[in-house]
């Protein structure tokens, strides 16, 4: 026996705790009408998870709870506990005894427990389904429902037979898989929708990233050009300054020596010819020449500076003409100021000070850019005005220089005349005067040489200023690695390193061409956006990563949907195969029981399509013949039809059967269904009420035969049926309306009688 006991507390008419033990194959429950014996069958339905209150003869949940009487107060809860012997592992739990309990409260609250632990209704259903047990299945036939399977439509019959064959678990799995498939398809739509939403943004970001990547390539190319240009320019400036310094050393040393000799000669002249007019004239000429020379040197330096500024402005004008882009014109003085700040910033090796210095430079550059951002030059007019202004200043300086040079030539002529006069004199004291004139002449030559060197140096200093500005701009544009330009090795086409000495032999026009290339690339970078685009790259990476994640998720969902479709197909195939095999087995038993009940005849179940489906196929056939299309409808599943042929009667349809014949047919079918896959227990509530004495005996024989496979609980008034039971429980009801239980064990009674 699988069923051990049933315990009722506060359920319907069982106000007090009542326990029924089932230790024989057949147990009968008897009692007068209205005593509450059928409540035990409903208690089985209740504890096994039945949700329909109507099927348990109630309208509300409260109707299942003892409602009280004048003698016994009403209960606030009702509980039913069912105990199974699980030593053969009928239920999929690794314990020898399983208790299932359901409790309801007047506030419609409900609890399910397995061995005292709270569980969900779904857990109960799945646990029982594995043992072919259900809340309202074929194994619980309540009062008046014996011919329910005959009255049911074809689809309902199919469900009842599937339940009897133990196919509900597969049905639930298929339905669950279909629900998961619908949810998966909905998720797929949502994921696909999300991908469509972010696709335009990713496309836009991709274009921005391509621009940034292009800018990076341009910067990389510019870095190479910059390093080559800076290394060559720095080498040229450094070596040229060194050479000028070397060339200045000899004239300066000679000038220092001549200055000493001139001082000695002047001293002699002062001692011997202090009052001499020619001596005074020589001194005056010397002073005048010195003054003119200093003024000429100053003007030469100014002219050199102006020439450098003109050259720089012309280079900027050329770059603007080359790119045809008009930019803001920033005075060279402000740029030099920024360059000086940058130069001072890089004279420290302290990282902290260097960072603060860079911040200062950054603010200075930002201020400068903000100041001149709106001051756009109209075309090249700004450069032309600056060049014109510088040239006017240069012309004024050149005019002054020309006047000074004329004055210097006049003074030199005077000096020559004085020298000739002195030479005509034979006085030995005039030797000192000759030395003075000779020294002054040599000094003029040396000053001319030094002046030429200073002009070259001025040009170099201007180049050095341009070089520092280029270095600063390059660092801001392509990075601080340009500071290491001195460590770069320049190679020729044969990958051979070029020595710095070769840079000096190169034409300056070649270096100027490199500078023009650098300017072109700088302008292209500015046009492309210039910045690093770190935020855009980060956003693009995040958007792309999200899209890839969604793509993977969509692929997983598609794979999951395909798996679910395969599972549904496999379950449907298995259900169909098991169902058809089960129908064959049921038909065999149905025929046996039907022949036993009616003394012959035939009965069988057949798989049929619903009437609407048949009509639909006929409509399709007619429509195809007439060339008319009919909208498709949802395909209906097949159902079960019952065919009976009574002996000695021309009755083949269920509608023509009498009440007794219907009862016998339904009993035969129910018993046949129970024989294919016997459930652990069967509850029959007055299914024998319509049988006469002869048929009752046949019914009793079938019950005994059925008890070999399933435990039976019979609620009956039939004496023949009672006689087959091992234990009879009598249910009575006193004036308080409470159902009470009495039991008789036939084996014990027979032993006592003997």
Per-residue pLDDT, 278: 65
Distance between start and end Cα atoms, the chain: 28
Looking only at the bridges linking them, the beta strands covering 711-715 and 3-9 are unpaired
Task: Assess whether pLDDT exceeds 90 at residue 405.
Answer: no
Distance between CA atoms of residues 721 and 714, nearest Å = 8
Q: What percent of the chain has pLDDT over 70?
A: 80
Of 28-42, 146-160, 328-342, 514-528, the one with minimum mean pLDDT is: 328-342
Domains of the chain by start residue, with CATH = 1-139+679-754 (3.40.50.300), 248-498 (no CATH)
Task: Assess whether pLDDT exceeds 90 at residue 99.
Answer: yes
Task: Assess whether pLDDT exceeds 50 at residue 633.
Answer: no
Q: What is the mean pLDDT of the chain?
A: 79
CB 619 within 8 Å of CB 630: yes
Per-residue pLDDT tens for 551-580?
999 999 999 999 999 999 998 888 888 888
Higher pLDDT, 279 or 251: 251
Most confident of 99-113, 260-274, 309-323, 345-359: 99-113
Task: Assess whether pLDDT exceeds 50 at residue 324.
Answer: no
User: What three-state secondary structure class fits 295?
Assistant: helix
**C-alpha 718: how far from its chain's center?**
72
Distance between CA atoms of residues 301 and 297, nearest Å = 6
CB 174 within 8 Å of CB 575: yes
Task: Assess whether pLDDT exceeds 50 at residue 509.
Answer: yes
Task: Assess whether pLDDT exceeds 80 at residue 198.
Answer: yes
**C-alpha 282: how far from its chain's center?**
95
Per-residue pLDDT tens for 434-489?
777 788 888 788 888 888 888 888 888 888 888 888 878 777 777 777 777 777 77
Write phi, then psi, for 27 (nearest 5 degrees). Answer: -125, 130
Distance between CA atoms of residues 149 and 139, nearest Å = 12
Per-residue pLDDT, 634: 42
Per-residue pLDDT, 83: 94
Under the banding of pLDDT at 50, 70 and 90, the label for residue 202 is confident
Task: Assess whether pLDDT exceeds 90 at residue 605.
Answer: no
> How is residue 417 written in tokens?
């005349």
Place of tokens 């070999």: 708
- Give the start-end residues of each E strand in 622-680: 639-645
| CA distances (Å), origin 522, targets 213, 326, 335, 511, 736 | 15, 14, 17, 17, 105
- Give start and end residues of each alpha helix (H) in 346-380: 351-372
Per-residue pLDDT, 747: 62
Distance between CA atoms of residues 515 and 232, nearest Å = 11
Looking only at the bridges linking them, the beta strands covering 639-645 and 602-608 are antiparallel
Per-residue pLDDT, 68: 87
Place of tokens 């070259």: 456
> How is residue 542 written in tokens?
């995040």
**C-alpha 124: how far from its chain's center?**
39
Per-residue pLDDT, 172: 79
Angle between helices 332-345 and 351-372 (to 10 degrees): 170
Per-residue pLDDT tens for 104-135?
999 888 999 999 999 998 888 888 877 777 65
DSSP state of 658: -
Distance between CA atoms of residues 102 and 289, nearest Å = 128
Per-residue pLDDT, 21: 92
Under the banding of pLDDT at 50, 70 and 90, the label for residue 622 is very low
- Cα dihedral value 69, 72, 76, 78, nearest 10: -90
Under the banding of pLDDT at 50, 70 and 90, the label for residue 4 is very high
Write phi, then psi, for 649 (nearest 5 degrees). Answer: -135, 145
Distance between CA atoms of residues 23 and 660, nearest Å = 32
Q: Which of 312, 589, 293 is nearest to 454 (CA)?
A: 293
Per-residue pLDDT tens for 207-226?
877 777 777 777 777 777 87
Task: Assess whether pLDDT exceeds 70 at residue 629.
Answer: no
Q: What is the enclosing helix (H) or strand (E) of 623?
A: helix 611-626
Q: Which of 677, 675, 653 is nearest to 665 (CA)?
A: 653
Under the banding of pLDDT at 50, 70 and 90, the label for residue 618 is very low
Per-residue pLDDT, 275: 44
Q: Which of 424, 417, 443, 418 is nearest to 263 (CA)?
A: 443
Distance between CA atoms of residues 55 and 76, nearest Å = 22
User: What three-state secondary structure class fits 120?
Assistant: coil
> How is residue 135 written in tokens?
């809340």
> How is residue 452 written in tokens?
């030429």
DSSP state of 498: P
Task: Assess whether pLDDT exceeds 90 at residue 78.
Answer: yes
User: What three-state secondary structure class fits 328?
Assistant: strand
Q: What is the DSSP string of 195-239?
A: HHHHHHHHHHHHHHHHHHHHHHHHHHHHHHHHHHHHHHHHHHHHH
User: What three-state secondary structure class fits 8?
Assistant: strand
Per-residue pLDDT, 565: 92
Which residues 6+ apart lie within 8 Å of 314 measured at CB? 383, 387
Per-residue pLDDT, 28: 92
Under the banding of pLDDT at 50, 70 and 90, the label for residue 322 is low
Q: What is the enclosing helix (H) or strand (E) of 603?
A: strand 602-608
Cα torsion 568, 572, 573, 577: sign: positive
Q: What is the DSSP string of 456-489?
A: HHHHHHHHHHHHHHHHHHHHHHH-GGGGGGGG--
- Cα dihedral value 102, 105, 109, 113, nearest 10: -20
Per-residue pLDDT tens for 666-713?
888 888 888 888 888 888 888 888 788 888 888 888 888 888 888 999
């Amino acid at each position: 026996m699988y069923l051990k006991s049933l315990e009722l507390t506060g359920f319907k008419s069982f106000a007090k705790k009542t326990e029924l033990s089932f230790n024989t194959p057949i147990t009968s429950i008897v009692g007068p009408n209205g005593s509450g014996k059928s409540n035990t069958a409903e208690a089985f339905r209740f504890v096994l998870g039945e949700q329909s209150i109507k099927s348990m003869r109630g309208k509300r949940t409260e109707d299942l709870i003892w409602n009280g009487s004048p003698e016994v107060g009403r209960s606030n809860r009702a509980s039913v506990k069912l105990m199974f012997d699980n030593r053969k592992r009928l239920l999929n739990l690794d314990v020898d005894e399983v208790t299932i309990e359901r409790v309801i409260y007047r506030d419609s609250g409900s609890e399910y427990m397995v061995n005292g632990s709270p569980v969900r209704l779904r857990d109960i259903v799945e646990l029982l389904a594995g043992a072919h047990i259900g809340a309202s299945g074929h194994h619980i036939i309540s009062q008046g429902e014996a011919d329910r399977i005959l009255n049911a439509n074809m689809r309902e019959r199919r469900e009842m037979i599937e339940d009897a064959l133990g196919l509900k678990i597969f049905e639930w799995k298929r339905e669950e898989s279909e629900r998961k498939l619908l949810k998966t398809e909905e998720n797929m739509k949502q994921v696909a929708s999300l991908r469509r939403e972010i696709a335009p943004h990713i496309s836009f970001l991709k274009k921005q990233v391509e621009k940034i990547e292009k800018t990076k390539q341009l910067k990389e190319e510019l870095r190479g050009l910059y390093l080559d240009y800076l290394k060559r320019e720095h080498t040229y400036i450094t070596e040229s300054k060194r050479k000028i310094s070397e060339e200045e050393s000899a004239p300066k040393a000679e000038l220092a020596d001549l200055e000493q000799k001139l001082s000695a000669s002047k001293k002699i002249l002062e001692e011997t010819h202090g009052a001499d007019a020619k001596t005074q004239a020589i001194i005056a000429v010397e002073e005048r020449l010195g003054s003119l020379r200093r003024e000429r040197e100053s003007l030469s330096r100014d002219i050199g500076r102006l020439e450098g500024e003109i050259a720089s402005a012309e280079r900027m004008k050329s770059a603007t003409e080359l790119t045809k882009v008009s930019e803001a014109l920033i005075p060279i003085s402000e740029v030099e100021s920024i360059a000086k700040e940058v130069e001072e910033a890089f004279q420290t090796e302290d990282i902290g000070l260097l960072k603060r210095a860079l911040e200062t430079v950054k603010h200075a550059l930002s201020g400068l850019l903000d100041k001149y951002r709106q001051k756009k030059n109209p075309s090249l007019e700004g450069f032309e005005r600056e060049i014109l202004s510088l040239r006017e200043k240069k012309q004024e300086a050149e005019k002054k220089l020309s006047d000074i040079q004329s004055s210097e030539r006049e003074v030199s002529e005077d000096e020559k005349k004085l020298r000739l006069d002195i030479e005509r004199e034979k006085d030995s004291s005039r030797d000192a005067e000759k030395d003075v004139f000779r020294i002054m002449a040599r000094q003029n030559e040396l000053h001319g040489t030094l002046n030429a060197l200073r002009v070259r140096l001025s040009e170099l200093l201007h180049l050095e200023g341009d070089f520092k500005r280029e270095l600063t701009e390059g660092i801001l544009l392509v990075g601080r690695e340009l500071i290491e330009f001195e460590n770069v090795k320049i190679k020729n086409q044969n990958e051979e390193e070029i020595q710095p000495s070769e840079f000096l032999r190169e034409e300056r026009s070649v270096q100027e061409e490199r500078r023009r290339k650098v300017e072109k690339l700088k302008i292209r970078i500015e046009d492309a956006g210039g910045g690093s685009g770190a935020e855009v790259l980060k956003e693009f990476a995040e958007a792309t990563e999200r899209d890839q994640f969604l793509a993977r998720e969509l692929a997983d969902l598609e794979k999951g949907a395909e798996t679910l479709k395969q599972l549904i197909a496999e379950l449907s195939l298995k259900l169909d195969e098991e169902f058809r095999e089960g129908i064959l087995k049921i038909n065999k038993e149905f025929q046996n029981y039907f022949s036993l009940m009616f003394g012959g005849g035939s009965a069988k179940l057949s798989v049929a399509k619903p009437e609407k489906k048949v009509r639909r196929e006929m409509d399709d056939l007619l429509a195809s013949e007439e060339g008319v299309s009919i909208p498709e409808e949802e395909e209906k599943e097949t159902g079960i039809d019952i065919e009976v042929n009574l002996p000695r009667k021309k009755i083949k349809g269920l509608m023509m059967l009498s009440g007794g014949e219907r009862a016998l047919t339904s009993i035969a079918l129910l018993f046949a269904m129970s024989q294919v896959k016997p459930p652990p227990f069967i509850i029959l509530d007055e299914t024998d009420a319509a049988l006469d004495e002869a048929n009752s005996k046949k019914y009793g024989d079938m019950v005994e035969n059925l008890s070999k496979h399933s435990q039976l609980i019979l609620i009956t008034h039939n004496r023949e049926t009672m006689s087959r039971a091992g234990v009879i429980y009598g249910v009575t009801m006193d004036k308080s309306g409470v159902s009470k239980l009495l039991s008789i064990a036939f084996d014990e009674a027979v032993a006592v009688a003997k």
